[in-house]
Amino acid sequence: MAKVCFLLANGYEDSEMKNPYEAVKEAGHTADIVSLEKGVELKGKKGTVSYTSDFSISEVKADDYDAIVIPGGGAPEALRINDEVVEFVKQANEQGKVIAGICHGPQVMISADILKGKNATSFVGIRDDLKNAGSNYMDKEVVVDGNIITSRTPKDEPAFIREILNKL
C-alpha cells in the first residue's frame, strides 16, 4: 500500500481535502497530514471539517511518500511561500512521485517550478499563473501528465480521486 502526504494549511476547500483523504484511506493507503507545524488544528474555509496535522514539513522528506495531494482553497497560498514545502514538492517531483493538486493546489507546483512543459488544469482564477509557469493549460475535469495530476473545482473531485487511486 502507498503512503500519501496531504499538504495542508488553514483555509483549504473542505471537500477537496475530505473526499480525497477519505478515499485514499478507504483504499487501504496511509494518509499523513503535513503542515507548517505539527499538532495544529487546520480548519476548512467553509468550517465543515477540521484536521490536526500529523507532521510539520520540517519533519518529513520526499523519500517518505509515494504521493502528495494538495487541496485547494486558501491553503496553497500559505504553503507556497514556505521554502521547505517548495523544496519537498520539488524533490518529490525529481523522484517521480505522484503530485496531485486541485483548484488552487497547483500554486504550490508553480512555486516548485515543476509544471514547465506539462499539461495541467486548475481553478480558472490561476489559469494565467499556470500558463506563465510554462504549462499547457487545459480546461478539463482532470489532467494527468506523467506523475502530475490536476483538477479544477470540487465538482471535479470524482475524476481527481479516480486518477489518484489509479496512480497509487
Q: Is 104 a catalytic residue?
A: yes
pTM exceeds 0.95, yes or no: yes
Of 103, 109, 115, 120, the active-site residue reads 103
Q: Which domain holds residue 36?
A: 3-167
Structural domain count, the chain: 1
- Position 75 scores a pLDDT of 98
- Position 106 scores a pLDDT of 98
User: Which residues of the chain fall below pLDDT 70?
Assistant: none
**Phi/psi-derived region of residue 47, left when phi > 0, alpha when psi is between -120 and 50, beta in every other case:** left
**Residue 118 phi, psi (nearest 5):** -100, 150
CATH code at 154?
Answer: 3.40.50.880
- Position 151 scores a pLDDT of 98
- Position 24 scores a pLDDT of 98
- Position 40 scores a pLDDT of 97
**CB distance 7 to 60 below 8 Å:** no
- Position 158 scores a pLDDT of 98
CA distance 94 to 111: 15
CA distance 59 to 99: 19
CA distance 1 to 9: 26
Q: Is 29 a catalytic residue?
A: no
Of 80, 97, 104, 118, the active-site residue reads 104
